[in-house]
């Protein structure tokens, strides 16, 4: 599973929220700080809100806050929200390998790589990402 632009922007926005956890943060503030299109970031946060990762508050002091604490929110959770077809790439690789006469030699190792990858991203939290610098 690859990290695409939506996942990157989601993570950048979530990092910003985690670093400003005591207040509501407007999309425009995040967009300006991270040099991201406001409209694109709005779409990203709409998905994060629907998945109950962030909460939107409206009004003059409105904005977004994390619902899931940074130390509990995993990279896998964010990736699954931003890219519903988590297994799509894996299935595509398997289908491609099955087309080749010697593809069977790679199938087992590709399955192990995928499983290890999924286990790894399930352990990485937003807090760990922030603390790595």
Answer whether 82's CB lies under 8 Å from 4's CB: yes
Answer whether 127's CB lies under 8 Å from 133's CB: no
Q: How far apart are the first and last CA of the chain?
A: 23
Helix H or strand E segment including 66: strand 63-66
Per-residue tokens: 17: 């929220």
Q: What is the pTM of this model?
A: 0.79
Instruction: Give per-residue pLDDT as tens, 31-83.
Output: 999 999 999 999 999 999 999 999 999 988 899 999 999 999 999 899 888 87
Task: With both helix axes pointing from N to C terminus, report the angle between 27-34 and 5-19 in degrees, rounded to the nearest 10.
Answer: 110
Per-residue tokens: 86: 């988590």
Domain total for the chain? 1
User: Tell me, what CATH number does 88's domain have?
Assistant: 1.10.10.10
Per-residue tokens: 101: 């006469």
Q: Which domain holds residue 122?
A: 5-132
């Amino acid at each position: 599973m690859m990290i695409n632009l939506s996942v990157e922007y989601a993570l950048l926005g979530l990092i910003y929220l985690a670093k400003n956890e005591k207040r509501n943060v407007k999309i425009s503030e995040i967009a300006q700080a991270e040099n991201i299109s406001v409209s694109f970031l709005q779409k990203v946060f709409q998905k994060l809100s629907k998945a109950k990762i962030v909460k939107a508050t409206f009004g003059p002091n409105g904005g977004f806050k994390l619902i899931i604490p940074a130390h509990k929110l995993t990279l896998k959770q964010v990736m699954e929200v931003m890219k519903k077809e988590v297994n799509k790439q894996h299935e595509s690789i398997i289908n491609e390998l099955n087309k080749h006469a010697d593809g069977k030699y790679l199938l087992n190792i590709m399955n192990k790589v995928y499983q290890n990858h999924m286990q790894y991203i399930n352990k990485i939290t937003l807090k760990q990402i922030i603390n790595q610098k």
